[in-house]
């Protein structure tokens, strides 16, 4: 049997910094992969240049196992480098028109004699894989989706102001003056849709990407997952998310440190003169007592 001395020298187990049964990301460390239910698709709308593409890219980069794009259909010919079933589902015009007539498409549009559209099957393919299907479409497309039986979550990404949207469009350096005016006019019409009560689950003003991204994740957590933003152990965040996770905490610690230092300086400025006056007074009193 071990002696009392051995027991005394034995190291105590180090207390975990994380919640019981969870890792540093707040994920269960011993939970088996769950059976997925079909998750509600996420429809994201917003004017050109508002930054919705950046937000979607961040979701895809941080959580590739949780989100997926539906592969759209088109009747145009593939461009160099495009792969059928990856970039688009390339189909014959007659076949696509037949499927549209039979109600197999959520939304579609005719552009330059070609047809583009999102089929129910494409959305189901993403949902059946246990991912949230993300649809980046315009307001007209969202109206068509609303008329379908698809139980989607609708989010509108809005600019802080029309002046800021114009600044972002011009900052691209890829748009001609006529195109910018057209996009701004369309943006005004799309913004009017946000005034329609109940059409969008949430309108997010994209003032800063970080704040908007947090707001978007909060909508997804509440409307799609029905719980706070956390992920099961079978879908760990990507390396990019982990990097940002640490960066955010470093910034938080630095901010907290400087906030404390600011308070210390303020207290020193308030109390310092009083202490100095007291010290001078005490020194003068002792000097007076010594003389007498």
Residue 216 corresponds to which tokens in the numbers above? 């978007």
> 42-237 architecture in CATH?
3-Layer(aba) Sandwich (3.40)
The pLDDT of residue 228: 57
Residue 98 corresponds to which tokens in the numbers above? 């037949």
Does residue 79 have an active-site annotation? yes
What SS3 state is found at 68? strand
- Pairing state between β 42-45 and 202-205: unpaired
The mean per-residue pLDDT over the stretch 88-104 comes to 92
Residues listed for the chain = 292
The pLDDT of residue 235: 42
Does residue 183 have an active-site annotation? yes
The pLDDT of residue 140: 83
Q: Where are the domains of the chain?
A: 42-237, 238-292
User: DSSP string of 84-125?
Assistant: BTTTBEE--HHHHHHHHHTT-EEEEEEETTEEEEEEHHHHHH
- Active-site hit among 76, 168, 183, 244: 183
pLDDT in tens, 46-64: 988 898 888 988 888 888 8
CA distances from 96 to 90, 110, 225, 291 (A): 10, 12, 34, 108
Worst-scoring range by mean pLDDT, 37-51, 197-211, 228-242?
228-242
The pLDDT of residue 232: 40
The whole-chain average pLDDT of the chain stands at 77
The pLDDT of residue 284: 76
- Active-site hit among 24, 34, 167, 172: 172
The pLDDT of residue 205: 92
Would the CA dihedral through 44, 132, 77, 100 be positive or negative?
negative
pLDDT in tens, 130-183: 889 998 888 888 888 888 888 899 999 999 998 888 888 888 777 788 888 888
User: 239-291 and 52-62 helices cross at what angle (nearest 10)?
Assistant: 100
Residue 191 corresponds to which tokens in the numbers above? 């913004």
Classify residue 130 as left (phi > 0), alpha (psi -120 to 50) or beta.
Answer: left
Burial class (CB in 10 A: 0-12, 13-18, 19+), 259: exposed
- Active-site hit among 14, 79, 227, 287: 79
The mean per-residue pLDDT over the stretch 266-274 comes to 77
Express as a percent the part of the chain with pLDDT over 70: 75
The pLDDT confidence band at residue 13, using thresholds 50, 70 and 90, is very low
The mean per-residue pLDDT over the stretch 259-272 comes to 78
The pLDDT of residue 233: 38
The pLDDT of residue 120: 87
The mean per-residue pLDDT over the stretch 82-88 comes to 83
The pLDDT confidence band at residue 98, using thresholds 50, 70 and 90, is very high
The pLDDT of residue 136: 84
């Amino acid at each position: 049997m071990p002696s009392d001395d051995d027991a005394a020298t034995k190291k105590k187990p180090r207390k975990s910094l994380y919640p019981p049964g969870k890792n540093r990301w707040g994920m269960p460390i011993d939970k088996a992969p769950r059976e997925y239910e079909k998750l509600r698709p996420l429809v994201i709308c917003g004017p050109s240049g508002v930054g919705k593409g950046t937000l979607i890219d961040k979701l895809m980069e941080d959580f590739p196992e949780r989100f997926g794009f539906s592969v759209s259909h088109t009747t145009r010919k593939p461009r160099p480098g495009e792969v059928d079933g990856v970039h688009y589902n390339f189909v014959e015009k007659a076949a696509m028109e037949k499927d549209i007539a039979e109600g197999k498409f959520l939304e579609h549009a005719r552009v330059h004699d070609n047809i583009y559209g999102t089929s129910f099957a494409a959305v189901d393919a993403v949902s059946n894989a246990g991912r949230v299907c993300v649809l980046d479409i315009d307001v007209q497309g969202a109206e068509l989706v609303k008329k379908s039986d698809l139980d989607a979550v609708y989010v509108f990404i809005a600019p802080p102001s029309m002046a800021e949207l114009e600044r972002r469009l011009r900052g691209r350096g890829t748009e001609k003056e006529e195109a910018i005016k057209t996009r701004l006019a369309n943006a005004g019409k799309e913004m009017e849709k946000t005034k329609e009560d109940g059409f969008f689950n949430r309108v997010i003003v994209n003032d800063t990407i970080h704040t908007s991204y947090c707001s978007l994740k909060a909508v997804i957590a509440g409307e799609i997952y029905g719980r706070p933003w956390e992920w099961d152990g079978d879908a760990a965040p990507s390396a990019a998310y982990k990097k940002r996770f640490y960066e955010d905490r470093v910034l938080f610690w630095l901010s907290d440190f400087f906030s404390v230092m600011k308070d210390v300086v303020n207290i020193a400025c308030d109390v310092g003169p009083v202490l100095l006056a007291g010290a001078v007074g005490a020194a003068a009193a002792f000097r007076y007592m010594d003389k007498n």
